[in-house]
Amino acid sequence: MFARFRRKRLHPVLRDLVRETVLTPKDFIYPLFIRSGEGIRNEVASMPGVFQMSIDEAIKECETLKALGLKSVILFGIPDVKDSVGSDALCEHGIIATAVREMKAAHPDMLIVTDLCFCEYTDHGHCGVLNPALQTVDNDITLQNLAKQAVVHAKAGADMIAPSGMMDGMIMAIREGLDEAGFSHIPIMSYSTKFASAYYGPFRDVAESAPSFGDRRSYQMDPANRREAILESLEDEREGADILMVKPALAYLDIIRDIREASDLPLAVYNVSGEYSMLKMAGRAGVIDYERVMMETLLGFKRAGADIIISYHAKEAAELL
């Protein structure tokens, strides 16, 4: 007998009417990896469909994205030269500052978000300046550099700054830096709850940012900690973050829900490289129906409480929506 639940599932139009969560292309931010040169589109073996691009190619890519209804990108830079402090990231002629200026000139209507960190720019691959005695990132010196980097991005025309380094006090330092330089109108989307995750593996191939020694566990969070995950995001809210984030997404749906309930700020999730590659590789192996598993996964992030989804799947998802 069709009773209380099944009778609402019988007619497809009624199923549409009672659907509680709906994905749209407007939910997504698409990551782009920018390097110097011209006409470059290097596909990365561990992330099929994801490319390192030169700025001219990124500008072309934005046409494709807009045609799909995707209007936001987050930029990661691969500099020609790395050094101990990550100077390229602090320079107005560095790869990201240059990319933002040129992309903004070509596509003033796109929302250009910049990832703010140093791991792609340092020769040791850590997310800031090292403290030799502690053999890890020096928090407070790195804060000063993060504020400088944010101003460089804002001057270049970035629409939103997304700090991912998990330094204590980073939102306050960046907010002050931006405000003092006349950029009080630029929002900060904080990677507020970011775990020390093995799911970042493929990203480090694309961004060429694997640490040359040790790991990131002295600044990124322990995957075991739920209460601390909430505290981290609430602290960033207090320091002035405009949007919070949970990263990675798939193994942390509980945390997305927890932060959704603890804060009224908009919440982003980062559906990271390893999550993307798992589905891609399983799809290629014929083990899963890639498109359906992808859509179900993305829907799960939104149902868990995310407003914004940063995902390498964004183009493929938008094509299906």
For residue 291, the minimal CB distance to ligand PBG (Å) is 20
Instruction: Identify the three-state secondary structure at position 219.
Output: coil
**Residues contributing to the site for Zn ion (CB under 5 A):** 117, 119, 127
Tell me the residue nearest to ligand PBG as measured from the CB.
203
Instruction: Identify the three-state secondary structure at position 67.
Output: helix
Which residue lies nearer to Zn ion by CB, 174 or 279? 174
Which residue lies nearer to Zn ion by CB, 127 or 265? 127
For residue 189, the minimal CB distance to ligand PBG (Å) is 12
* Six token digits for residue 98: 């240059």
* Six token digits for residue 5: 């639940």
For residue 75, the minimal CB distance to ligand PBG (Å) is 11
Catalytic residue among 8, 26, 155, 194: 194
* Six token digits for residue 298: 């993305």
* Six token digits for residue 314: 């964004």
DSSP string, 247-260: ES-GGGHHHHHHHH
Which residue lies nearer to ligand PBG by CB, 46 or 262? 46
Instruction: Identify the three-state secondary structure at position 75.
Output: strand
Which residue lies nearer to ligand PBG by CB, 15 or 34? 34
Q: From Zn ion, ligand PBG, none, which one binds at residue 272 (CB under 5 to 8 Å depending on kind)? A: ligand PBG
Distance CA 210, CA 232 (A): 24
Which residue lies nearer to Zn ion by CB, 144 or 263? 144
Instruction: Identify the three-state secondary structure at position 48.
Output: strand
Catalytic residue among 8, 82, 148, 247: 247
Q: Sign of the CA dihedral 67, 71, 74, 80? A: positive
> Could you count the other beta carbons within 10 Å of the beta carbon of residue 78?
21
Contact criterion met (CB below 8 Å) for 175 and 183 = no
Distance CA 74, CA 78 (A): 14
**Residues contributing to the site for ligand PBG (CB under 6 A):** 115, 117, 119, 127, 164-165, 200, 203-204, 209, 216, 272-273
Q: From Zn ion, ligand PBG, none, which one binds at residue 277 (CB under 5 to 8 Å depending on kind)? A: none
DSSP label at residue 233:
H
214: left (phi over 0), alpha (psi -120 to 50) or beta: left
For residue 35, the minimal CB distance to ligand PBG (Å) is 16
What are the b/e assignments for 2-12, b being 16+ CB within 10 Å? eeeeeeeeeee
Contact criterion met (CB below 8 Å) for 238 and 215 = no
For residue 176, the minimal CB distance to ligand PBG (Å) is 21
Which residue lies nearer to ligand PBG by CB, 4 or 202? 202
Catalytic (active site) residue 194: yes
Q: From Zn ion, ligand PBG, none, which one binds at residue 200 (CB under 5 to 8 Å depending on kind)? A: ligand PBG
Catalytic (active site) residue 148: no
Distance CA 283, CA 288 (A): 5
For residue 161, the minimal CB distance to ligand PBG (Å) is 13
Active site positions, annotated: 194, 247
